């Protein structure tokens, strides 16, 4: 036995609450072999901790709980979890109890230490202290490897805890999913995405209706119960192969734009294990649907400059949309067109440009990829921004944020084939000039009522956009007054295209 005098507890000031950091502590603790050491919450970094408060040594219910925990210690250790018992008894009392047989009122050699919170300071910080009894209630806390409380239960003094339930909850927490009542390790977790139906509540959002669905997940209209306003939720599918950091980057990029012709991003949250982008809800018709019914030649003069101004606002923030198309534009009454879904948005930066210059895309890679994309829908977003040799073309291409890549993409296809710029078709990084080319294709469709690449195979589209005379061919069928600006927007070399701000200025 190593002598160790009782030490005062060092207690954090944060209240014990699920989802918040556990109050810090440092307490002397006794082991069954007679050793005594100071144990702190920080000692369990990277591991789970089952912190079990109990009232007194040599009591009646406590031995049944602690011996039950000790009996299944291998099960806790298998889950990378440690156990620590805490009461207001002294270290000497703990040592005596650990060396006394159960027949004589002891617990015998437990497989975990017992800490001495003599003045009850740690018990109070965790909210288990009973002022009337002058003792701690039976509190149990599961604390994750980052020191955050993930589970808490407090029993009155006369009721013991169930160790099997503790292990069940620990398994559920480790699973990382939503676990229904009576869940066990043999059960699967709830597929939250499949439960996103009207009247369901996701966090503090009550779902009202589904607005769209794709490889990225689902877009929902919802009511914000806190702020009492309509919002749109972009919820990432749980099985999507998506880099969540990319999703956050998308939201941060779009959130930096403040303009009436760009959809506002309110927040990015993780709700019930799902990454969710909370956007303003815009009650408007997608331009894609409107163009399917009629052309917009008469309204063109009012809609086109607003689109250009909204796009210019994004470019002024250093943001490229990268996937501009009629499906990503909503028409909203007096507000006019609103650009949404910066699904392939990225912030322009020297690092990204430097990486692109150091690792230029291979034409053979892009063309080989395009040849194998022939079966995909030309109106759907694709994102194969990685070496073509690693792309699994048996997977669906109708995805947003699929095949997530970092800011310094090196090669591959990203965007919507029917509205891609020539440089995107070659697998290069989209730029503001790429957005202008896509906008030019949209303008041409608004004026003629027909998508230029309607019905064409993707491989043919990707080949056609590399023709230097494509802009001249497209503009032959549009009114003379708009032909010069569209011809410039559809120029083959990106450097010859006007900026979005210049496009807007030419409509003034």
Instruction: Report the distance separating Cα 309 and Cα 300, nearest Å.
Output: 14
Residue 39 reports pLDDT greater than 90: yes
Residues 28 and 91 sit within 8 Å (Cβ to Cβ): yes
CB 426 within 8 A of CB 458: no
**Residue recorded with tokens 């009454």:** 333
Which structure tokens are listed for 223? 């009511």
Dihedral angle over CA of 281, 285, 289, 294, nearest 10: -160
What is the distance between the alpha carbons of residues 389 and 401, in angstroms, rounded to a whole number? 19
pLDDT at 26 (0 to 100): 97
Give the pLDDT confidence score for residue 345 in this predicted structure.
53
At residue 181, the pLDDT reads 75
- Check: pTM over 0.75? Answer yes or no: no
pLDDT in tens, 179-202: 677 766 665 544 555 678 898 888
Tokens of 6: 């009782």
Distance of alpha carbon 461 from its chain centroid, rounded? 33
Least confident residue range of 96-100, 129-133, 152-156, 368-372:
368-372
Task: Quote the pLDDT of residue 381.
Answer: 59
Domain boundaries for CATH 1.10.510.10 within the chain: 285-506
Among residues 83, 84, 146, the alpha carbon closest in space to that of 115 is found at 84
Sequence-separated (6 or more) residues with CB below 8 Å from residue 330: 263, 282, 284, 285, 286, 287, 337, 338, 340
Q: What is the pLDDT of residues 436-451, one digit of tens each?
A: 999 999 999 999 888 8
pLDDT confidence of residue 363? 40
Q: Is the dihedral of CA 481, 482, 485, 486 positive or negative?
A: negative
Query: What's the CATH fold of domain 192-280?
Result: Phosphorylase Kinase; domain 1 (3.30.200)
Higher pLDDT, 104 or 7: 104
List, in sequence order, the alpha helices (H) in 372-413.
none
Q: What is the pLDDT of residue 45?
A: 96
What CATH architecture is 26-175?
Answer: 3-Layer(aba) Sandwich (3.40)
Q: pLDDT tens-digit profile of 104-129? A: 888 999 999 999 999 999 999 999 99
62 is catalytic: yes
Instruction: Say if residue 310's pLDDT is above 80.
Output: yes
- CATH architecture, range 285-506: Orthogonal Bundle (1.10)
Is-contact 453 418, C-beta < 8 A? Answer: yes
Q: CATH 3.40.30.10: which residues of the chain?
A: 26-175
Query: Are the C-beta atoms of residues 190 and 273 closer than 8 Å to each other?
Result: no
Q: What is the pLDDT of residue 170?
A: 95
pLDDT tens, residue by residue, 438-490: 999 999 999 988 888 776 677 677 777 778 888 888 888 888 999 999 999 99
At 355 the pLDDT is 34
Query: 203 in the Ramachandran plot: left (φ > 0), alpha (ψ -120 to 50) or beta?
Result: left
Dihedral sign (CA 370, 375, 376, 382)? negative
| Comma-separated ranges of CATH 3.30.200.20 domains in the chain | 192-280
Neighbours of 128 (CB within 10 A): 25
pLDDT band at 28 (very low <50, low <70, confident <90, very high): very high
273 phi-psi bin (left φ>0, alpha ψ -120 to 50, beta other): left
């Amino acid at each position: 036995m190593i002598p160790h005098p009782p030490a005062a507890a060092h207690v954090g000031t944060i209240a014990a609450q699920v989802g918040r950091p556990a109050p810090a502590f440092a307490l002397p603790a006794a082991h069954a072999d007679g050793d005594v050491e100071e144990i702190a919450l920080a000692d369990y970094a990277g591991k789970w901790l089952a912190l079990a408060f109990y009232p007194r040594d040599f009591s009646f219910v406590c031995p049944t709980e602690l011996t039950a925990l000790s009996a299944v210690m291998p099960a806790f250790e298998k889950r990378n979890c440690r156990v620590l018992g805490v009461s207001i008894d002294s270290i000497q009392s703990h040592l005596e109890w650990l060396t006394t047989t159960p027949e004589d009122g002891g617990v015998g050699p437990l497989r975990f230490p017992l800490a001495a919170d003599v003045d009850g300071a740690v018990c109070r910080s965790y909210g288990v202290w009973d002022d009337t009894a002058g003792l701690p209630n039976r509190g149990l806390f599961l604390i994750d490897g980052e020191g955050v409380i993930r589970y808490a239960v407090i029993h009155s003094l006369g009721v013991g805890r169930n160790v099997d339930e503790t292990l069940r909850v620990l398994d559920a927490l480790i699973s990382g999913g939503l676990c229904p009542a009576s869940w066990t390790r043999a059960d699967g977790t709830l597929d939250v995405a499949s439960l996103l139906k009207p009247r369901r509540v996701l966090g503090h959002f009550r779902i009202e209706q589904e607005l769209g669905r794709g490889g990225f997940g689902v877009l929902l209209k919802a009511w914000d119960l806190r702020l009492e306003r309509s919002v749109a939720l972009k919820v990432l599918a749980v099985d999507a192969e998506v880099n969540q950091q990319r999703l956050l980057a998308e939201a941060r990029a779009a959130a930096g734009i403040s303009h009436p012709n760009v959809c506002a991003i309110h927040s990015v949250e993780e709700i019930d294990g799902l990454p969710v982008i909370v956007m303003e809800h815009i009650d408007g018709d997608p331009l894609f649907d409107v163009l399917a019914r009629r052309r917009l030649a008469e309204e063109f003069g009012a809609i086109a400059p607003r689109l250009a101004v909204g796009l210019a606002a994004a470019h002024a923030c250093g943001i490229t949309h990268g996937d501009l198309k009629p499906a990503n534009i909503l028409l909203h009454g007096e507000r006019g067109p609103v650009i949404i879904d910066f699904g392939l948005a990225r912030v322009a930066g020297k690092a990204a440009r430097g990486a692109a210059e150091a690792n230029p895309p291979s034409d053979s890679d892009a063309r080989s990829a395009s040849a194998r994309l022939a079966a995909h829908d030309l109106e759907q977003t694709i994102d194969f921004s990685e070496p073509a040799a690693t792309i699994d073309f048996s997977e669906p291409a109708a995805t947003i944020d699929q095949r997530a890549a970092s800011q310094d993409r090196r090669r591959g296809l990203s965007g919507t084939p029917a509205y891609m710029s020539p440089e995107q078709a070659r697998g290069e990084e989209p730029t503001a000039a790429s957005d202008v080319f896509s906008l030019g294709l949209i303008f041409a469709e608004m004026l003629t009522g027909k998508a230029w690449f309607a019905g064409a195979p993707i491989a043919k589209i990707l080949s056609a956009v590399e023709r230097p005379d494509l802009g001249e061919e497209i503009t032959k069928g549009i009114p003379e007054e708009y032909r010069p600006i569209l011809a410039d927007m559809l120029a083959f070399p990106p450097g010859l295209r006007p900026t979005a701000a210049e496009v807007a200025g030419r409509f003034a």
